[in-house]
Amino acid sequence: MATAVLSGSDAKLLGFDPSAKVSAIIGGQTDAAIAPVPFYLGLLEGKQNIEGILFADFGQRMIDYGIAVSEDGLRRNTPAMRSFITVMSRAYQYTLDGHVDEASAALVAARPEVRRASRDMDP
């Protein structure tokens, strides 16, 4: 978030089980989710007005992946959403450019609860 010049008050990052993302958007628990945008647009049609911001629009070769965002969330957070997706696109490219170990270490450092959950799952 710091790379996108965002603070904790600009956006709150939550981890959702993929199956819970749709209900989280509909229920208002989140304004946006990283997701296959066309799938979410079709799934939420008539239930929630959402927009899609595709990673492809920011230079990534991902056909349908991006951020599915509620219209209200986009209206309230357009600069933050654009900053976030710009940084995410650069991070994806950096990882693809041969920095997989560094990217993995950064993810674990940013989300220590994931490391704990993973350790708890080990036999």
The C-alpha R_g of the chain, in whole angstroms, comes to: 15
Q: What does the alpha-carbon distance between residue 112 and residue 61 come to, in Å, rounded to a whole number? A: 29
Contact between 37 and 51 under an 8 Å Cβ cutoff? The reply is no
pLDDT tens sequence across 57-107: 888 777 777 778 878 878 888 888 888 888 888 888 888 888 988 888 887
Q: What does the alpha-carbon distance between residue 53 and residue 36 come to, in Å, rounded to a whole number? A: 10
* Phi/psi-derived region of residue 70, left when phi > 0, alpha when psi is between -120 and 50, beta in every other case: beta
Contact between 69 and 52 under an 8 Å Cβ cutoff? The reply is yes
pTM of the model: 0.57
Least reliable range by pLDDT among 10-19, 32-41, 46-55, 101-110: 10-19
